[in-house]
Amino acid sequence: MSATKKLKASEKQAVVKKLTALLKKQYGGSLPKANRPVLETLLFAICFERSAYDDAQAAYDRLLDSFFDLNEIRVSSVSEIEQALGELEEAAWKALRIRESLQYVFEKYYQFDFDGLRRKTLEAAQKQLEQINHITPFVQGYVLQQCLGAHVVPLDEGSRDALVWMGLVEPEAEVQEAADEMKSALRKSDGPLFAHLLHSLAVDRRYCGAFEPSESANNGSSADPETAAGRLKTLLEKGYRKKKVVKSRKKPAAKATTARKKATKGAAKKVVKKKVSKPKAKARTRSRKVAKS
């Protein structure tokens, strides 16, 4: 895949503006209303990563309904939590992170109250979140954005791949690097909506596979941000169909072909001999009968 074309901050902002307009037509221009405590926001973010919002909300609700309280979730097995999450994407991995997050908060405060994070500076809150085992850049960014109002762009691997396809970040960029790079292309007030729309696109099953690195590598123009709006418009209108790879049939080796021909000829000769020999036998029998008479 070719290197991403370098853009000035103002040029990148113009590209993002066009992309946002297209995504708003597809997914709407309003954010889901949510007013959760910090710990619940953290748990929801784990469910939300690489999943559609409605699927994450349904899994989160099932999780809370399946157990008596958060402490029961904390002391449950990963498989029990996974079962409560249902068919959520990467349910087992998310179940482990849910339990680890609850364990961290309980051991830190001896209760399930994490709202003290709101009173910390952005740097201090970020450092504390990093202490949670298996926390991801997406979960960390989502909590900082939703609970502290920080100017961050929560990205997971799927939304990062979509940005690479759009030509807004380098193909080699890690998730956190891509998130930091996108901050300059977005105003603080526009960050939450763009991140939500981008996430919606990345998890939309109608375009599943379009942004995978292997698929983007087959398209030489995929790293060009100047064509991003046009390519996105086409994708949203026509959907995505993976190109079928036609496998060429291997020609049989010359020796094998010759051997098969010889074997076929030999078999044909045997058949001919058998057919010819039968009439001769009948002729001899008739001659004997004539002699006797």
- Neighbour-count burial for 64-85, b at 16+ CB within 10 Å, e otherwise: eebbeebeebbebebeebbebb
Residue 292 forms part of a structural domain: yes
Q: Are 59 and 86 in contact (CB under 8 A)?
A: yes
Model's pTM, two decimal places? Answer: 0.81
Dihedral of the alpha carbons of 46, 49, 55, 57, in degrees to the nearest 10: 40
What distance in Å separates the CA atoms of residue 27 and residue 25, rounded to the nearest whole number?
6
Tens-level pLDDT at each residue, the chain (293 residues): 455 667 888 899 999 999 999 999 999 999 999 899 999 999 999 999 999 999 999 999 999 999 999 999 999 999 999 999 999 999 999 999 999 999 999 999 999 999 999 999 999 999 999 999 999 999 999 999 999 999 999 999 999 999 999 999 999 999 999 999 999 899 999 999 999 999 999 999 999 889 988 765 555 445 799 999 999 999 999 988 876 545 555 555 555 555 555 555 555 444 444 444 444 444 444 444 444 44
Residue 281 inside a domain? The answer is yes
The structural domain count of the chain equals 1
Q: Is residue 124 part of a domain?
A: no
Q: What is the predicted pLDDT for the residue at 287?
A: 45
Q: What is the CA radius of gyration of the chain?
A: 33
Q: What is the pLDDT of residue 259?
A: 53
Q: Has residue 52 been placed in a domain?
A: no
Range of the domain at 286: 254-293
Contact 46, 101 (CB under 8 A): yes
Answer whether residue 287 is part of any domain.
yes
Q: Considering the domain boundaries, does residue 120 fall inside one? A: no
Q: CA-to-CA distance for 191 and 80, rounded, in angstroms?
A: 36
Q: What DSSP state is assigned to residue 183?
A: G
Residue 270: inside a domain: yes
233, 256, 261 from 267: Cα distances, Å: 64, 17, 10
Residue 277 lies in a domain: yes
Contact 49, 136 (CB under 8 A): yes
229, 15 contact by CB (below 8 A):
yes
DSSP character for 68?
S
For 36, residues 6+ apart whose C-beta sits below 8 A from its C-beta are 44, 146
290 vs 72, 215, 284, 286, CA distance in Å? 108, 86, 10, 6
At 150 the pLDDT is: 97
Q: Are 90 and 50 in contact (CB under 8 A)?
A: yes
Q: Which of 130, 145, 128 is nearest to 45 (CA)?
A: 145
Position 221 scores a pLDDT of: 43
The residue type at 12: K
The three-state (H, E, C) secondary structure of 207-246, written as one string: HCCCCCHHHHCCCCCCCCHHHHHHHHHHHHHHCCCCCCCC
- In angstroms, rounded to a whole number, what is the distance separating the alpha carbons of residues 157 and 145? 18
DSSP 151: S
